[in-house]
A and B are shown apart, each in its own frame.
Chain A
Amino acid sequence: EVQLVESGGGLVKPGGSLRLSCVASGLAFSNVWMSWVRQAPGKGLEWVGRIKRKVDGEQTDFAAPVKGRITISRDDSKNTLYLQMDSLKTEDTAVYFCATGYSNGYEYWGQGALVTVSS
C-alpha cells in the first residue's frame, strides 16, 4: 500500500520560514515526479510546484505566487520530499498536500499538513 505522510506544518509569523516533509512508502520513490498542492481554507486546489526524478536532473518548477520564495527538494535515500517555504505571507495559509503518480495524474496523495501564517 502506498502512503504519503506529511509533517512540519504549524503556525508561523508573516515573513517567517517553514519546512514541510513528505515521507513515502510502498512506491518506487526515485522513479516518480513529486509535487506539492495546497488548498486555502474553503478554497480550491492550487498547484504549488514539482520536482522531477534524478534522471531528469531533479528539475523543479513553481507556480507564480510562490516562485522565489519556495524550494522543493528530495532525498531518494530517505524516500522523502521537502518543501522549504521562506518569506511566508498570510495568503500562504493552507493545507499542503504532497502528491504523485506513475501515470499522468496524482493517484497518490498525503493527508495534508496545515500551515497557518499569522501574527
Chain B
Amino acid sequence: DIQMTQSPSSLSASVGDRVTITCRASQNINNRVNWYQQKPGKAPQLLIYDASTLHSGVPSRISGSGSGTDFTLIISSLQPEDFATYYCQQTYYTLWSFGQGTNVEIK
C-alpha cells in the first residue's frame, strides 16, 4: 500500500502568513495527488486535483505543486476561513489513500 506522509501534523499561523504543507508518497505516484480542506463537523472539500489544478471556486491564494513523490500545498496569505485541517490523497495506485492530515490553527 502507498503511504502518504504529511508534514507538519499541525501548525500555528497568523492571518496573512504564507503556509506550506508537504506530502510525501512512499512510491512514485506521478501527479495523482489531490488536496482537501475539512472543517469540524463538515465533509471535506476538494481544493486541488492532479497536484496543481485548482478546483472550481477555490481562491487563487491556494496552490499546489509537485510530482513523483513530493508534493506541496501553499496558502500564500492565510485568511480566517483557511483555519482547518488539510489532507492529501493519492489516486495513482489501485488502493487510494490519504495523508494523516495537517491542522492549521490560529496563532
Contact = CB atoms under 8 A, between A and B. Distances in A.
Contacts of B49: 101, 103-105
Given A44-B101, A47-B89, A112-B43, A104 B50 contact: yes
B3 to A, nearest CB: 12
B55 A44 contact: no
B38 interface: yes
A55 interface: no
B84 interface: no
B57 to A, nearest CB: 10
Interface string A97-108: 101010111110
Interface residues of A, number: 23
Interface string B64-95: 00000000000000000000010101010011
B44 A106 contact: yes
17 contacts: A44-B85, A44-B101, A45-B38, A45-B44, A46-B98, A50-B96, A64-B95, A101-B46, A103-B50, A105-B34, A105-B55, A106-B46, A106-B89, A109-B44, A109-B45, A110-B43, A111-B43
Given A61-B94, A97-B43, 9 more contacts: A44-B101, A45-B89, A47-B89, A63-B97, A105-B46, A105-B91, A106-B89, A109-B43, A109-B44
Interface of B: 1, 32, 34, 36, 38, 43-46, 48-50, 55, 85, 87, 89, 91, 94-101
